[in-house]
Structure 1
Amino acid sequence: MMTQGTLVDATIIEAPSSTKNKEQQRDPEMHQTKKGNQWHFGMKAHIGVDAKSGLTHSLVTTAANEHDLNQLGNLLHGEEQFVSADAGYQGAPQREELAEVDVDWLIAERPAR
Protein backbone atom coordinates (compact mmCIF):
# COMPACT_ATOMS: atom_id res chain seq x y z
CA MET A 1 0.00 0.00 0.00
CA MET A 2 1.36 3.41 -0.97
CA THR A 3 0.79 5.75 1.93
CA GLN A 4 4.06 6.95 3.39
CA GLY A 5 5.52 9.36 0.87
CA THR A 6 5.89 10.40 -2.74
CA LEU A 7 9.03 11.35 -4.63
CA VAL A 8 8.35 13.64 -7.60
CA ASP A 9 10.48 14.71 -10.53
CA ALA A 10 10.29 15.49 -14.22
CA THR A 11 12.49 14.56 -17.14
CA ILE A 12 12.71 15.80 -20.71
CA ILE A 13 11.95 13.34 -23.50
CA GLU A 14 13.83 14.72 -26.47
CA ALA A 15 12.64 14.56 -30.06
CA PRO A 16 14.36 15.75 -33.22
CA SER A 17 13.34 19.37 -33.78
CA SER A 18 12.85 18.69 -37.48
CA THR A 19 10.19 16.01 -36.88
CA LYS A 20 7.04 16.91 -38.81
CA ASN A 21 3.76 15.13 -39.48
CA LYS A 22 2.28 14.45 -42.92
CA GLU A 23 0.95 18.04 -43.05
CA GLN A 24 4.59 19.19 -42.66
CA GLN A 25 3.92 20.68 -39.21
CA ARG A 26 5.58 20.00 -35.89
CA ASP A 27 3.66 18.13 -33.24
CA PRO A 28 1.79 20.86 -31.30
CA GLU A 29 2.35 18.95 -28.04
CA MET A 30 6.13 19.36 -28.32
CA HIS A 31 7.99 22.54 -27.49
CA GLN A 32 11.48 23.72 -26.73
CA THR A 33 12.81 24.50 -23.28
CA LYS A 34 16.11 25.61 -21.81
CA LYS A 35 17.77 23.53 -19.09
CA GLY A 36 20.97 25.07 -17.83
CA ASN A 37 22.64 26.51 -20.90
CA GLN A 38 21.21 23.99 -23.37
CA TRP A 39 18.03 24.03 -25.41
CA HIS A 40 15.94 20.87 -25.74
CA PHE A 41 12.94 20.08 -27.95
CA GLY A 42 10.30 17.52 -27.04
CA MET A 43 8.04 16.60 -24.16
CA LYS A 44 8.35 16.28 -20.41
CA ALA A 45 7.40 13.31 -18.24
CA HIS A 46 6.30 14.26 -14.71
CA ILE A 47 6.56 11.25 -12.39
CA GLY A 48 5.31 10.41 -8.89
CA VAL A 49 7.00 7.45 -7.18
CA ASP A 50 6.18 5.73 -3.88
CA ALA A 51 9.04 6.48 -1.47
CA LYS A 52 8.97 3.05 0.18
CA SER A 53 8.48 0.64 -2.72
CA GLY A 54 9.94 2.70 -5.58
CA LEU A 55 6.86 1.97 -7.70
CA THR A 56 5.63 4.66 -10.07
CA HIS A 57 2.04 5.60 -9.24
CA SER A 58 1.62 8.74 -11.36
CA LEU A 59 2.80 9.81 -14.80
CA VAL A 60 1.77 12.94 -16.69
CA THR A 61 3.23 14.05 -20.02
CA THR A 62 3.29 17.67 -21.15
CA ALA A 63 5.17 19.89 -23.58
CA ALA A 64 8.80 20.35 -22.53
CA ASN A 65 8.24 24.00 -21.62
CA GLU A 66 5.67 23.16 -18.89
CA HIS A 67 7.02 24.05 -15.43
CA ASP A 68 7.38 21.10 -13.06
CA LEU A 69 5.27 22.78 -10.36
CA ASN A 70 2.21 22.99 -12.62
CA GLN A 71 1.73 19.22 -12.56
CA LEU A 72 2.62 18.53 -8.91
CA GLY A 73 -1.00 18.15 -7.79
CA ASN A 74 -1.55 15.47 -10.44
CA LEU A 75 1.38 13.43 -9.09
CA LEU A 76 0.01 13.04 -5.56
CA HIS A 77 -2.34 10.19 -4.64
CA GLY A 78 -3.66 11.91 -1.48
CA GLU A 79 -2.49 9.40 1.13
CA GLU A 80 1.14 10.51 1.45
CA GLN A 81 2.60 11.93 4.65
CA PHE A 82 5.50 13.64 2.87
CA VAL A 83 6.52 14.77 -0.60
CA SER A 84 10.19 14.88 -1.60
CA ALA A 85 11.33 16.92 -4.60
CA ASP A 86 14.28 18.77 -6.10
CA ALA A 87 14.70 22.56 -6.06
CA GLY A 88 12.49 22.95 -9.13
CA TYR A 89 9.50 22.46 -6.85
CA GLN A 90 10.29 25.30 -4.43
CA GLY A 91 7.19 27.29 -3.64
CA ALA A 92 4.88 24.25 -3.77
CA PRO A 93 3.43 24.77 -0.26
CA GLN A 94 2.41 28.34 -1.17
CA ARG A 95 0.55 27.44 -4.36
CA GLU A 96 -3.21 27.93 -4.15
CA GLU A 97 -4.06 24.55 -5.67
CA LEU A 98 -1.86 22.77 -3.09
CA ALA A 99 -2.99 24.74 -0.01
CA GLU A 100 -5.24 21.90 1.19
CA VAL A 101 -2.52 19.24 0.82
CA ASP A 102 -1.47 18.30 4.37
CA VAL A 103 2.02 16.80 3.99
CA ASP A 104 5.58 17.50 5.07
CA TRP A 105 7.28 19.15 2.09
CA LEU A 106 10.89 17.97 1.68
CA ILE A 107 12.12 20.22 -1.11
CA ALA A 108 15.80 20.77 -1.87
CA GLU A 109 17.15 24.29 -1.63
CA ARG A 110 18.63 26.02 -4.63
CA PRO A 111 22.44 26.05 -4.57
CA ALA A 112 24.05 29.36 -3.59
CA ARG A 113 25.60 31.23 -6.49
Structure 2
Amino acid sequence: MLTFVIWLVVALLLLTAVFLLASVMERGDGVPGDAPYGSGIAGFWRSFRAGLRHRGRRAAVRPVDTDLEAFFSDNVEQGPAYVDAEQITDVLVRARQQATRQLHVGTVRPPE
Protein backbone atom coordinates (compact mmCIF):
# COMPACT_ATOMS: atom_id res chain seq x y z
CA MET A 1 0.00 0.00 0.00
CA LEU A 2 2.82 2.38 0.84
CA THR A 3 4.44 1.70 -2.54
CA PHE A 4 1.20 2.60 -4.30
CA VAL A 5 0.94 5.91 -2.40
CA ILE A 6 4.56 6.77 -3.19
CA TRP A 7 4.06 6.07 -6.91
CA LEU A 8 0.83 8.08 -6.87
CA VAL A 9 2.59 11.09 -5.33
CA VAL A 10 5.45 10.79 -7.83
CA ALA A 11 2.96 10.60 -10.72
CA LEU A 12 1.09 13.68 -9.48
CA LEU A 13 4.32 15.62 -9.10
CA LEU A 14 5.35 14.68 -12.63
CA LEU A 15 1.90 15.63 -13.93
CA THR A 16 2.17 19.03 -12.26
CA ALA A 17 5.65 19.54 -13.71
CA VAL A 18 4.41 18.67 -17.21
CA PHE A 19 1.46 21.06 -16.92
CA LEU A 20 3.72 23.82 -15.64
CA LEU A 21 6.25 23.24 -18.42
CA ALA A 22 3.49 23.23 -21.04
CA SER A 23 2.12 26.46 -19.61
CA VAL A 24 5.53 28.13 -19.75
CA MET A 25 6.21 26.87 -23.28
CA GLU A 26 2.78 28.00 -24.49
CA ARG A 27 3.30 31.47 -23.10
CA GLY A 28 6.74 31.64 -24.73
CA ASP A 29 5.20 31.07 -28.17
CA GLY A 30 2.73 33.93 -27.89
CA VAL A 31 3.10 37.68 -28.07
CA PRO A 32 4.99 39.22 -25.14
CA GLY A 33 2.56 40.49 -22.54
CA ASP A 34 -0.23 38.35 -23.99
CA ALA A 35 -0.86 36.25 -20.88
CA PRO A 36 -4.54 36.74 -19.93
CA TYR A 37 -4.20 34.98 -16.56
CA GLY A 38 -0.77 36.29 -15.62
CA SER A 39 2.50 34.41 -15.60
CA GLY A 40 4.27 32.05 -13.28
CA ILE A 41 2.68 29.46 -11.04
CA ALA A 42 -0.21 31.73 -10.03
CA GLY A 43 -1.05 32.39 -13.68
CA PHE A 44 -0.81 28.68 -14.42
CA TRP A 45 -3.21 27.88 -11.58
CA ARG A 46 -5.75 30.52 -12.73
CA SER A 47 -5.52 29.27 -16.30
CA PHE A 48 -5.95 25.66 -15.15
CA ARG A 49 -9.05 26.52 -13.12
CA ALA A 50 -10.51 28.52 -16.02
CA GLY A 51 -10.02 25.51 -18.27
CA LEU A 52 -11.86 23.30 -15.79
CA ARG A 53 -14.74 25.79 -15.64
CA HIS A 54 -15.08 25.86 -19.44
CA ARG A 55 -15.00 22.07 -19.65
CA GLY A 56 -18.46 21.79 -18.13
CA ARG A 57 -20.03 24.35 -20.47
CA ARG A 58 -20.06 22.91 -23.94
CA ALA A 59 -21.99 24.83 -26.55
CA ALA A 60 -24.37 22.92 -28.78
CA VAL A 61 -22.84 22.63 -32.22
CA ARG A 62 -25.17 22.08 -35.12
CA PRO A 63 -24.00 19.92 -37.99
CA VAL A 64 -23.59 21.53 -41.39
CA ASP A 65 -24.52 19.65 -44.52
CA THR A 66 -21.96 20.16 -47.27
CA ASP A 67 -20.82 17.99 -50.09
CA LEU A 68 -17.19 16.98 -50.44
CA GLU A 69 -16.45 19.26 -53.40
CA ALA A 70 -17.71 22.36 -51.56
CA PHE A 71 -15.69 21.43 -48.48
CA PHE A 72 -12.43 21.13 -50.41
CA SER A 73 -13.06 24.21 -52.56
CA ASP A 74 -13.67 26.34 -49.45
CA ASN A 75 -10.49 25.12 -47.75
CA VAL A 76 -7.99 25.74 -50.55
CA GLU A 77 -4.91 27.63 -49.40
CA GLN A 78 -3.86 30.51 -51.61
CA GLY A 79 -0.32 30.84 -50.26
CA PRO A 80 2.73 28.76 -51.06
CA ALA A 81 2.59 25.04 -50.43
CA TYR A 82 3.76 23.64 -47.12
CA VAL A 83 6.51 21.67 -48.85
CA ASP A 84 8.16 23.39 -51.80
CA ALA A 85 9.87 21.18 -54.41
CA GLU A 86 12.77 23.63 -54.84
CA GLN A 87 13.47 23.68 -51.10
CA ILE A 88 13.49 19.89 -50.97
CA THR A 89 15.85 19.77 -53.95
CA ASP A 90 18.24 22.23 -52.27
CA VAL A 91 18.22 20.21 -49.06
CA LEU A 92 18.88 16.95 -50.92
CA VAL A 93 21.76 18.50 -52.90
CA ARG A 94 23.38 19.79 -49.70
CA ALA A 95 22.89 16.43 -47.99
CA ARG A 96 24.48 14.63 -50.95
CA GLN A 97 27.46 17.01 -50.87
CA GLN A 98 27.94 16.47 -47.14
CA ALA A 99 27.65 12.72 -47.50
CA THR A 100 30.32 12.58 -50.20
CA ARG A 101 32.83 14.59 -48.16
CA GLN A 102 35.15 12.87 -45.74
CA LEU A 103 34.13 13.99 -42.30
CA HIS A 104 36.81 12.17 -40.28
CA VAL A 105 40.03 12.51 -42.20
CA GLY A 106 42.89 10.51 -40.75
CA THR A 107 40.83 8.32 -38.44
CA VAL A 108 40.60 5.36 -40.82
CA ARG A 109 43.80 3.47 -41.53
CA PRO A 110 44.33 1.68 -44.82
CA PRO A 111 44.61 -2.09 -44.56
CA GLU A 112 48.14 -3.41 -44.31
TM over 0.5: no
Say which structure, 1 or 2, has more relative contact order (CA 8 Å, 6+ apart): 1
* Higher fraction of helix: 2
Q: TM-score range by the shorter chain?
A: under 0.3
- Name the larger-Rg structure: 2
- What is the TM-score with the length of structure 2 in the denominator? 0.19
